[in-house]
Amino acid sequence: MSLPFDFADGVLHAERVSLASLAEQFGTPLYVYSRAALETAYGAYANACAGRRATVHVAVKANSNLAVLNVFARAGAGFDIVSAGELTRALKAGASADKIVFSGVGKTADEMRTALRVGVKCFNVESIPELDRLNTVAGELGLRAPVSLRVNPDVDAKTHPYISTGLKSNKFGVAFEEARATYRSAARMKHLEVIGIDCHIGSQITQISPYLDALDKVLELVTQVESDGATIHHIDVGGGLGIRYDDEEPPEIGAFVRAILDRIAERGHAHREVLFEPGRSLVGNAGVLLTRVEYLKPGSAKNFAIVDAGMNDLARPSMYQAFHGIDAVVPRKGAASVYDIVGPVCESGDWLGRDRSLALEAGDVLAVRSAGAYGFVMSSNYNTRPRAAEIMVDGDQAHVVRARETVEQLLAGETILTA
């Protein structure tokens, strides 16, 4: 099989392991990841960066499973985090602290202390109040915090409004027209060291042009900032490259990386380190969610296939109206019907797919494709539903990389009143 998730002998496989056998052995709902797919996607970034001053920092928020992160750490990746919890995960997965970038708009003082003590590569700072707090915290520890400013270039990434981050109306970053003055303020703070500049304009971006538009503005700003006396050692171009869920045609990873690096070189900045922070494009198509059909419910307006995975397991469809391909793991040869694939959660927004043509019977297992990014990490225990198990497939071997939760575990931290 040439694809990480492909059919062999009439059954959908992850690499060389039958997904039907995984559903039988480990139950559903079940997240399944392909190690080969993770390594292939990372290799596309790493190969395009080879010979250039460029590094890859995996966005932990997209998929924070320790085994997934460890695959990237073994390959030499850095990491992009947005919380102290993600910092702990990255370190536990084998990351080097000096290859970790701490992003996020709402860092607490405790999170700053933790990151300073372990020695992260850089803090991507998003406001003057955050600069003030970081300067104070670093001073209390007798340290200097390495910082870059996340600049908001007011560029439309042409993506879903919930995952657009580079417009004036978004909460992220320092406004472009205020960035130069903010750099001056940072340079005056005795416990901060300005080392870079950061820009992240959104997620699921399927064109290169918005990146280049933002990059041109950032490079102009770099020249201005350095004329004021600061030194910009690195340019962080963020992440956000899209994947194919349905009929999207995102650029190939290597072409995207080369376009960014070539533009930076053309503008005379090839001597600076360039940081990429991919997430979805590394893990999105490296995972599927398996779910079993509980009931088929025909209706006058809609036919429903009610499955055991719901919006608490995969939030993207109900949250973003996102499309995920859905296939029967063992396709039937009978006549297909059109179904809405819906879950058991007590919400009308609990759906995984609309108007899907499938030949189904109760008990069949479905694979929800492209579920490796923002799948398990966004799952919840709504309706007191334990979260799914996670499996990593490596060739013909399947490894449990997160055990299924139990209701007893969900209740363990709770108490009732004693009077």
CA distance 183 to 199: 14
SS3 295: strand
Q: Which amino acid is at 72?
A: F
Q: Is the separation of the CB atoms in 78 and 99 below 8 Å?
A: yes
In this structure, the number of other CB atoms found within 10 A of the CB of residue 300 comes to 5
Could you tell me the two tokens for 172?
Answer: 């992220």
**316 carries a ligand binding annotation:** yes
85, 242, 317, 349 from 312: Cα distances, Å: 21, 23, 11, 11
Adjacent-strand bridge partners of 185 = none
End-to-end CA distance of the chain: 63
Burial of 259 (0-12, 13-18, 19+ CB in 10 A): middle
CA distance 379 to 87: 20
**240 carries a ligand binding annotation:** yes
Could you tell me the two tokens for 123?
Answer: 């803090």
Residues 6+ apart with CB under 8 A from 37: 4, 5, 285, 286, 372
Per DSSP bridges, beta strands 30-34 and 17-18 are unpaired
**279 carries a ligand binding annotation:** yes
SS3 362: coil
49 carries an active-site annotation: no
**277 carries a ligand binding annotation:** yes
Q: Is the separation of the CB atoms in 269 and 234 below 8 Å?
A: no
**278 carries a ligand binding annotation:** yes
Name the active-site residue from 49, 122, 199, 346.
Answer: 346
**280 carries a ligand binding annotation:** yes
**374 carries a ligand binding annotation:** yes
| Closest by CA position to 406, among listed 380, 390, 386, 388 | 386
Q: Is the separation of the CB atoms in 194 and 135 below 8 Å?
A: no
Catalytic residues: 346
Annotated binding site for pyridoxal 5'-phosphate: 240, 277-280, 374
Annotated binding site for substrate: 280, 316, 320, 347, 374
